[in-house]
């Protein structure tokens, strides 16, 4: 039995494969929990940055009197237009010819194998969109701003993290100096954020290269092991000290409850980048810090009209639009395009500490 090729290579089939058939679909993204997906209509965004963490008390009042009005938290409005991100992939004429041959032969195994290969390749487009969202979250969290340029455009957003929340270590204070007072630095930054905002940082994030600086630090090691044992050079320089021991030492000294070592990498224009850059740490309080605002992309906006005309556009649960279409002139390739409109919001940007440590 011949199966319709256009129905097989469709956006609905692909999204169905992703969300129903492929149990491994979806990346493990550490920052999505801090900036969860928030679906929005349109392109424009506007939000109010959060105020401090001090709780406003109710006011004493006389009976039969009007209550005193309490102003909403926040003082700094953030607004702008959500940027558009797009990428596409081709299904070649040769692949389509193989698939159609299997269909004519009713070769279910052959159909399944080639569709799985095609869908697995196309899944990298979706993963690329998801990782782009994570990249934007990482730049917002670690730098307090996003600067991202490509041949098609640029994204420049400043989340207005207060200057007093930004630290740049110099000289002997940098963490690549084994005698730097790393534990004191972290505790001082936590205390300053709590005093200034009322929010107590409980989490710190960095990549693996930055974490290695902690392993070599004398103050960390001195608090990790009894002084009597440190007299032995073999113990002092031991690589048997676990990451968990170092993390526990920092948590005990500073009051942090979670230290995140996040070491994913991304590539763009042939270059590989650290998602969390070397020599940077961010400290932040419990709970969400903002959201990932996903607007209405042009593909999603035109899905109804496009599908009525024979095209195929579907939208994933996290707001990524998928458009699958076939050229009507040679070469008769089928293209899969993914696009989304999105940007992190950062309502709690005033309650983070950002430090360049080396």
Please write down the HEC assignment for all residues of the chain. Answer: CCCCHHHHCCHHHHHHHHHHHCCCCCCCCHHHHCCCEEECCCCEEEEECCCCCCCCCCCCCCCCCCCCCCCCCCCCEEEEECCEEEEEEEECHHHHHHHHHHHHCCCHHHHHHHHHHHHHHHHHHHHHHHHHHHHHHHHHHHHCEEEEECCCCEEEEECCCCHHHEEECCHHHCCCCCCCCHHHHHHHHHHHHHHHHCCCCCEEEECHHHHHHHHCCHHHHHHHCCHHHHCCHHHHCCCCCCHHHHHHHHHHHHCCCEEEECCCEEEECCEEEECCCCCEEEEECCCCCCEEEECCCHHHHCHHHHHHCCCEEEECCCCCEEEEEECCCCCCCEEEEEEEEEEEECCCHHHCEEEECC
The pLDDT tens digits of the residues spanning 154-175 come to 889 999 999 999 999 999 999 9
Fold of 5-22+31-48+78-157+290-345: putative capsid protein of prophage fold (3.15.30)
Q: Which of the four pLDDT bands, split at 50, 70 and 90, describes residue 2?
A: very low
- pTM to 2 decimal places: 0.85
Give the pLDDT confidence score for residue 247 in this predicted structure.
93
**Domain assignments of the chain as residue spans, ordered by start:** 5-22+31-48+78-157+290-345, 161-265+349-356
* Model confidence at 309: pLDDT above 50: yes
Give the pLDDT confidence score for residue 275 in this predicted structure.
95
* Model confidence at 69: pLDDT above 60: no
Give the pLDDT confidence score for residue 73 in this predicted structure.
47
Question: Stretch 77-103: mean pLDDT, rounded?
Answer: 87
Give the pLDDT confidence score for residue 296 in this predicted structure.
92
The pLDDT tens digits of the residues spanning 217-234 come to 999 988 885 544 545 555
Give the pLDDT confidence score for residue 33 in this predicted structure.
96
* Model confidence at 244: pLDDT above 80: yes
Give the pLDDT confidence score for residue 23 in this predicted structure.
54
Lowest mean pLDDT among 49-63, 118-132, 188-202, 273-287: 49-63
* Model confidence at 60: pLDDT above 80: no
Question: Stretch 332-353: mean pLDDT, rounded?
Answer: 93
Lowest mean pLDDT among 108-112, 287-291, 309-313, 345-349: 309-313
In percent, the amount of the chain with pLDDT more than 90 equals: 49
């Amino acid at each position: 039995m011949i199966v319709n090729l256009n129905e097989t290579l469709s956006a609905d089939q692909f999204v169905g494969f992703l969300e129903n058939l492929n149990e491994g679909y979806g990346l493990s993204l550490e920052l999505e929990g801090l900036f969860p997906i928030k679906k929005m209509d349109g392109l424009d965004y506007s939000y109010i940055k959060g105020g401090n963490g001090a709780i406003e008390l109710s006011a004493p009042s006389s009976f039969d009197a009007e209550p005193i009005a309490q102003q909403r938290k926040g003082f700094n409005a953030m607004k702008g237009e959500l940027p558009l991100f797009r990428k596409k992939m081709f299904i070649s004429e040769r692949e389509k010819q193989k698939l159609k041959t299997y269909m004519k032969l009713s070769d279910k195994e052959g159909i399944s194998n080639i569709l799985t290969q095609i869908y697995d390749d196309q899944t990298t487009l979706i993963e690329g969109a998801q990782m782009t969202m994570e990249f934007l979250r990482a730049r917002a969290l670690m730098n307090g701003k996003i600067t991202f340029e490509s041949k098609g455009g640029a994204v420049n957003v400043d989340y207005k993290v207060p200057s007093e929340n930004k630290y740049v270590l110099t000289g002997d204070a940098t963490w690549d100096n084994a005698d730097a007072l790393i534990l004191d630095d972290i505790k001082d930054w936590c205390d300053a954020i709590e005093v200034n905002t009322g929010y107590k940082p409980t989490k710190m994030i960095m990549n693996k290269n930055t974490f290695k600086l902690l392993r070599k630090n004398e103050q960390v090691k001195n608090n990790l092991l009894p002084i009597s044992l440190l007299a032995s050079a073999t113990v002092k320089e031991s690589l048997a000290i676990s990451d968990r021991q170092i993390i526990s030492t920092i948590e005990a000294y500073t009051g942090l409850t979670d230290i995140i070592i996040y070491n994913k990498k991304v590539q763009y224009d042939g270059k590989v980048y650290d998602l969390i850059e070397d020599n940077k740490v961010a400290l932040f309080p419990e709970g969400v810090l903002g959201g990932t605002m996903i607007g209405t992309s042009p593909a999603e906006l035109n899905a109804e009209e496009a599908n009525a005309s024979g095209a195929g556009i579907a939208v994933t649960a996290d707001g990524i639009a998928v458009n699958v279409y076939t050229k009507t002139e040679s070469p008769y390739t089928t293209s899969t395009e993914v696009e989304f409109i999105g940007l992190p919001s950062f309502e709690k940007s005033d309650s983070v500490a950002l430090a360049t440590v080396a």
